[in-house]
Structure 1
Amino acid sequence: MQIFAHAQALGGEARIVGGAVRDWLANYPVGDIDMAINLPIETVASHMVACDMRVVETGLKHGTITLYDDDDHIELTQTRVDLETDGRYAIVAHDQDWARDAARRDFTINALYLDKSGGIFDPLDGRADLQAGRLRFAGDAGLRVQEDALRMIRYCRFLPRFAAMGIEPQAENALREYGSLCAGLSGERVANEMRRIMVGGRLKDVIGLMQDSKIDQAALGLSLDPSRLANDDDIGSMIAGLGENVDFAWLVNLAVAMPSGSAALLAKRLRLSRAEERCLTRLDRGLGEDDITMLSGARWRQAVYYLGDMAALLFAVQSWRNGQVLDASRLAEFTAWTPPQNPICGADLLSHGVDNGPGLGQMLKEAEHRWVTSNFTLGKATLLEWLFGN
């Protein structure tokens, strides 16, 4: 997208800003690209529409639009100042001054701008902080978190990657003093951060900070226990071993750290999807001793057959709840194994004169159980002979 050229045509300037610049400078993979433009966003939106560009007014009253070009999209925000904030939302006004735009951002490392010539604009010394492993709020930490309480949870999320020097004292004081403000955040905003926190590294440290500052209690409605969590290597093995279920990895760690019986409360507070709610509810129940013994032993395929896609997730949760190191090779076996097809179906029993009713279902269940306990070795003929021989 030729946003730089469009901005110049309108008499203004556009710059790439925030995470894309930060990650590029830190040699991390660059994800979504956000840009800022020192023009009123309504003017920009009208111009882009006139140029046949698809414009979505994702946050027009907050100074933001999203521009689409086929499968690519860029969020474009006017340079602005906050006129009024309530800890959740801000009333903003256009301001052409790039330095004032930088001053209203959350962290110094996110107040980095890249212009069309590749020049870096860094009014808050964010690049030096990035190189030093120092995570600082932009300006007064207390004011920044009062403007938007989500910034406290974001600080916790960025901690593993960008705070090699540890928690910055002013930031820590702000989190301890204002952590209770997180209670006013929407469940969706908290959940979006938690999805990344719970798989983001140094999890014990991050959850420890959230617990110490009571951010967890305010944001989630309960206290998480960092002592129950696994180390980073174990968590990395779990994530690598989940295959297609990797999107639920964050729920595994949440289930380990949360008090037992908390699934319903958290699903409501975080406004989880139905799939996430079902997953967390099942993880909350955990596994019995017989199940974990089977999963750890030679009969693991039989347990996985009944547990289905939840087997790997439950195995990780229960291993850590029991204070055990996760068997990563066994977890990988669960994910790689494709259960065999049950050799008996309803048509087989109907053809043998069984009425289509509750009795047929019970016979199918009994045959399936016998087939599974044989470690999937019995064929159709043997199973039918056993069924009708009883």
Structure 2
Amino acid sequence: MAELITKEWLETDAIQRVFDVLEQGGDRARVVGGPVRNALLGERVDDVDIACTALPEITVQRAEAAGLKAVPTGIDHGTVTLVCEGIPFEVTTLREDVETNGRHAVVHFGRDWARDAARRDFTMNALYVDREGVLFDPLGGVEDCLNRRVRFIGDAVQRIREDNLRILRYFRFFATYGVGAADPIAIAACAAEKQGISELSAERVTKELSRLLEAPRAAEVLQLMDGNGILELALGEPTSLDRVLALMVAEAALGRQGDKDLRMVALKNERICAGLRFSGIFCKREERANAARHALARNGLDEVHLKSLMVDLSPQAVSDGILLSALEVESPEALRAPLAFAESWEVPTLPLAGRDLIQAGLAPGPRIGELLAAAKESWKASDYQKGREVLLAEVLEAEEQ
């Protein structure tokens, strides 16, 4: 029987205390899904989900009696988050779906572990382990997991119809864990049911695509999705993969870790992508990165221009713009030196401010901004050597003329 490669996460006082709380009155508890899968593969375990036979209200009562915080994060569907030693554990009562409708399910609580497993998405996620590290594998998921085969449980079309998000989850899991060719049954089912993607919230689609973009096989899986008409539905409009694929090639060639947000910028490539939703922070980065890319396309990658852009935008924006330019250069090697410079040059601050001009007797107003802009250009032309006094003298002299 297979064993967990990493077990230290299961042996902590916090999780064992949670087991003590849950396993009372004949109830059983097991860690389920991702932590088990990752531990079998020797990969990092972060969040821990636990399945148990106790009803959610009983879980809350036992947790509070033991002094643990219990948060009813999804109590209607059997989920309670227990916080022990500052660590959250999502605890869900065993259940089976009575009725499903794309994203919302009517569930029935039970005590049958095999039925609980049967309602999950992929065989590698229908794995359980008890507090001692003993595996429970009702659907043969261990073999699939160890061989990195991503397969739907039972009928793939039915699994997708229960939850349309499983289409995107399949591609994300395959990009992250899969080896070899994708399961043809899964691909056919995803393609057949792809219109269900349009029923998903933009937030959920964005989250899945973002996680896929940082996966080891992101490039080929994006092409697989595109070839089956799935990516267009997810984005909300047709797209081209040229820029994001060029970015991924450049990241690999330059020995850089893949940046999921920058990859998303490249995937969007200034399209609206109505099927997605982004934070203000992402949108600001996207705007500056594309501004830098366009400026570099016009003026080149020489250090003089890089300095000017870094002062006007930011080092991050210029680094992003350089990487987004991978599509326009003959080889990623052309980006190595500019990137190194952009990430090492210490950006100076313009030594002249509006208050300096006002203190020198100039009237507040729009003219102050115009004068500062001119001073900034003069400062740049000096290779950032001119100091406050020199710049101020130039401004005052220009105003006297």
Q: What is the TM-score when the length of structure 2 is the normalising length?
A: 0.87
Out of 254, 265, 272, which is 2:264 matched to? Answer: 254
Q: 1:110 to 1:290 in 2, by over 3 A?
A: closer
1:168 aligns with 2:192: no
Q: 1:6 to 1:315 in 2, by over 3 A?
A: same
Q: Is the 8 A contact 1:346 1:360 kept in 2?
A: yes
What is the correspondence of 1:339-350 to structure 2 with a 5 Å cutoff? Answer: 339-350=347-358
Counterpart in 1 of 2:96? 81
2:23 aligned counterpart, secondary structure: helix
Relative to structure 2, which stretch is displaced further, 26-35 or 300-309? 300-309
Aligned-partner Cα distance in 2 for 1:256–1:321: 13
Counterpart in 2 of 1:313? 320
Structure 2 counterpart of 1:262, one-letter code: R
Structure 2 counterpart of 1:250, one-letter code: K
Q: Is the 8 A contact 2:303 2:338 kept in 1?
A: no
Aligned-partner Cα distance in 1 for 2:302–2:146: 45
Q: 1:201 to 1:133 in 2, by over 3 A?
A: same
Counterpart in 2 of 1:365? 373
Structure 1 counterpart of 2:53, one-letter code: N
Counterpart in 2 of 1:376? 384
Q: Is the 8 A contact 2:73 2:81 kept in 1?
A: yes
1:234 aligns with 2:243: no
Relative to structure 2, which stretch is displaced further, 374-383 or 14-23? 374-383
| Structure 1 spans left out of the alignment, 5+ residues | none
Q: 1:238 to 1:183 in 2, by over 3 A?
A: farther
1:346 Cα shift?
2.1
CA offsets 1:299-331 (integer angstroms, 9 cap, x no match): 411221112142222222233366752724533
Structure 2 counterpart of 1:218, one-letter code: L
Out of 144, 151, 154, which is 2:169 matched to? Answer: 154
1:155 Cα shift?
1.0
Q: 1:31 to 1:41 in 2, by over 3 A?
A: same
Percent identity over the alignment is 31
1:387 aligns with 2:395: yes
Q: 1:317 to 1:232 in 2, by over 3 A?
A: closer
Q: Is the 8 A contact 2:234 2:276 kept in 1?
A: no
1:85 aligned counterpart, secondary structure: strand
1:351 aligns with 2:367: no
Q: Is the 8 A contact 2:247 2:324 kept in 1?
A: no
1:275 Cα shift?
1.9
Out of 329, 332, 342, which is 1:325 matched to? Answer: 332
Q: 1:92 to 1:292 in 2, by over 3 A?
A: farther
1:36 aligns with 2:51: yes
Q: 1:329 to 1:33 in 2, by over 3 A?
A: farther
Structure 2 counterpart of 1:313, one-letter code: D
Q: What is the TM-score when the length of structure 1 is the normalising length?
A: 0.89
1:233 Cα shift?
5.1
Q: Is the 8 A contact 2:176 2:212 kept in 1?
A: no
1:83 aligned counterpart, secondary structure: strand
2:373 aligned counterpart, secondary structure: helix
The two structures, once aligned, show a CA RMSD in angstroms of 2.4
Counterpart in 1 of 2:40? 25
Relative to structure 2, which stretch is displaced further, 3-12 or 111-120? 3-12
1:69 Cα shift?
2.4
